[in-house]
């Protein structure tokens, strides 16, 4: 589509509904374009050094958990995702700090930027955190939040009208665009391997990440979980829901376990878990041995 100014203009319709597209915020989306590989590709790459392929789903699960836990990251790089995304510019600038993907973004020098903005609501008028310089609190401002949100939207309309007027007057697109606000939506194709994608998600799904970018991270997480269920399970176990301990913290845990003779109770609980009907116990045999070494060995 072209405009009266002779430039290409992106279509204004939303992406099609379906399993390969997740809508984000008011007008954004994450669309899965294609994937390469999955859990099988991870274990295939891990086992190539001694010439063995996939064994069984249980063995594959154990291997993927081992790889994730011990940070053997190369096999996860064998899986790739390509996304088509639309997000506000202020989110794109946070997103692009992850310099581990191939990105191609729409250019305001070539295309007429659409009259499409993230329009905040009163609930989005959050207060500044008192302990985190770059974060906010889940509390609305003390003043008229609805009026403030309406002012944001009015400013967007004014600035876009000035942009259109500049184009009509013959100002080059690369100059006319510079006053457009950060709330303007941009689009890009984003291709990344699974290892780096999981690192991105570990940071952007965290409660300390900005609420608006977490929405996009949750959309991508949906596609990762669907394409690589075993890898996603291990990611949740060891990265997303797990925790690391410093040397001092670990020694404190050891002292508590040993002084209270808690290890026999932990072993009993593990035996009961293995004898239960749970087909996928949270800890496998090798992991319980590693836990014993961590807690019992200074």
Collapsed DSSP state (helix, strand, coil) of residue 186:
strand
- Specify whether 204 is catalytic: yes
Tokens of 166: 């500049």
Between CA 211 and CA 205 the distance in angstroms is 9
Between CA 220 and CA 225 the distance in angstroms is 9
Return the H-helix or E-strand segment holding 58: helix 57-69
- Strand partners of residue 123: none
Largest CA distance in the chain: 81
Q: Give the residue carrying structure tokens 């609501």.
A: 121
CA 259 remoteness from chain centre: 41
Q: What is the DSSP letter of 31?
A: E
Can you state the angle between helices 285-296 and 57-69, rounded to 10 degrees?
A: 30
Collapsed DSSP state (helix, strand, coil) of residue 14:
coil
Q: Which residue among 22, 173, 177, 204 is the active-site one? A: 204
Between CA 87 and CA 210 the distance in angstroms is 14
The DSSP line for 85-142 is EEEEHHHHHHHTT--SSEEEE--TTTEEPPS-B----GGG-EEEPSS-TT-EEEEE-S
Between CA 75 and CA 194 the distance in angstroms is 9
Q: Phi first, then psi: give them for residue 251, nearest 5 degrees.
A: -65, -35
- What residues are labeled active site? 204
């Amino acid at each position: 589509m072209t405009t009266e100014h002779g430039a290409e203009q992106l279509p204004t319709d939303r992406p099609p509904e379906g399993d390969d597209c997740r809508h984000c915020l008011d007008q954004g989306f994450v669309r899965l374009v294609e994937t390469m590989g999955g859990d099988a590709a991870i274990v295939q790459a891990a086992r190539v050094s001694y010439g063995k392929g996939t064994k069984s789903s249980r063995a594959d699960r154990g291997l993927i958990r081992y790889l994730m836990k011990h940070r053997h990251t190369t096999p996860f790089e064998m899986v790739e995702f390509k996304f088509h995304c639309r997000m506000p510019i202020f989110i794109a600038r946070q997103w692009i700090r992850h310099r581990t993907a191939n990105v191609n973004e729409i250019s305001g020098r070539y295309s007429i930027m659409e009259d499409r903005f993230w329009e905040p609501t009163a609930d989005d008028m959050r207060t500044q955190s008192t302990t985190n310089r770059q974060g906010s609190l889940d509390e609305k401002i003390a003043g008229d939040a609805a009026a403030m949100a309406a002012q944001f939207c009015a400013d967007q309309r004014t600035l876009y009208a000035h942009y259109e007027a500049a184009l009509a007057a013959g100002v080059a697109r690369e100059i006319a665009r510079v006053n457009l606000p950060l709330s303007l939506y941009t689009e890009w194709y984003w291709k990344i391997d699974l290892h780096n994608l999981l690192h991105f998600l570990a940071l952007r799904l965290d409660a300390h990440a900005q609420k608006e970018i977490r929405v996009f991270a949750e959309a991508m997480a949906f596609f990762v979980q669907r394409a690589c269920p075993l890898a996603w399970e291990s990611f949740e176990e060891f990265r997303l829901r797990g925790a690391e301990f410093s040397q001092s913290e670990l020694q404190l845990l050891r002292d508590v376990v040993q002084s209270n003779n808690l290890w026999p109770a932990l072993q009993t609980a593990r035996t009961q878990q293995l004898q239960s009907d749970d087909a996928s116990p949270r800890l496998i045999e090798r992991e319980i041995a590693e836990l014993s070494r961590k807690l019992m060995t200074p």
